[in-house]
Chains A and B, each alone.
Chain A
Amino acid sequence: MSIDKSMNVLIVDDYKTMLRIIRNLLKQIEFNNVEEASDGGEALAKLRAGQFGLVISDWNMQPMTGLQLLQEVRADARLKSTPFIMITAESKTENVVAAKQAGVSNYIVKPFNAETLKEKIEKVLGHA
């Protein structure tokens, strides 16, 4: 069974440049239906309004952080099973532990490469 690459992917980051980079990297691995949000609040609104098969989010954003977004997603009956990958420069043990406890599907530390992104996406979508 192959990955459904037509699924909607939501990428969340307050750096426009980073959104552009992730969008282009996703395009290269054939995920073309990508939507963007610049913070947790905007992302949550888009998630509640649409259908997304994967969320890829930064952590350090204002006013709603990636961790708060993850907690909101996991607390929402309709969204709670959505795969959620955190891509962040936060690389301390307590960050990884907090994200895991909040229900993160996988965790990528910046700077990352395309191969790591592809591998983690495959893993969370159940095709490792």
Chain B
Amino acid sequence: MQRKFTLGLSSGLLATLLSISSSSSAQNTTDDIAKYREMIADGNPSELYEAAGEELWKKPAGPKNATLEKCDLGLGPGVVKGASAQLPRYFKDTNKVQDLESRLMTCMQKLQGRDPQEMIDAPFQKGPKKDMEAIVAYVVTLSKGDKIKVSTAHPKEKEMYELGKRAFYFEGGPMDFSCASCHGEDGKRIRLQDLPNITTQKGAAMGWGYWPAYRVSSGQFWTMQQRLNDCYRQQRFPFPIYGSDVTIALSMYMAKNANGGTVETPGLKR
């Protein structure tokens, strides 16, 4: 209750800040958002998702009535701390490069007996995806402050990176957009929104390092899969399938480029 109240108050504050700044310059708006981030840094609404996620992690569920506590996110069964800082990575048991969400689907299938297709088909923010989002919030919070450290030592990891790079530059749709149309140069904006240059380490860390995040504008916690999905929507592409290789390849490209940057997840976004 206390938190909800604070949240409402801070959202109101942001609206006020934004409306004040609309009469001033673009730079000031960016500054105001930074100020707002600072103000609620101790109370990122993602904490609500994180707490729910921790509960879901430890609660027996699915046809096998098992918990996710033995899930191997790459650092061994049950190790959550620091795991998402090193994802995506190659997993021997699936013989695949997986990002956090595709890996969690594997754990839900193997440990709990849940059908991944239900997760893939569910809309964001609803049903099984809602559980996924909470679990993601829990997992990524436990890497906050770690260095991004993604490997391309395995041939499949290297291959995924190269596929992701190619996907990043792939133009299509009625507007000829690729990821690079917006994220391939330094210092660009769409309207007032600063665009990180994901082809550079600094820009990739600005993007990859801050997602998943709580989005103030939608009042929702967004996973990386949802973030990519909305990029493709705005690119006027067809719908990227949840957990598909193209989404993992792009994540690999971003994460590897961001190596050495700091994990700031869950981030707080406009």
- Co-assembled chains A and B: no
Residues on B lying within 8 angstroms of A by beta carbon are none
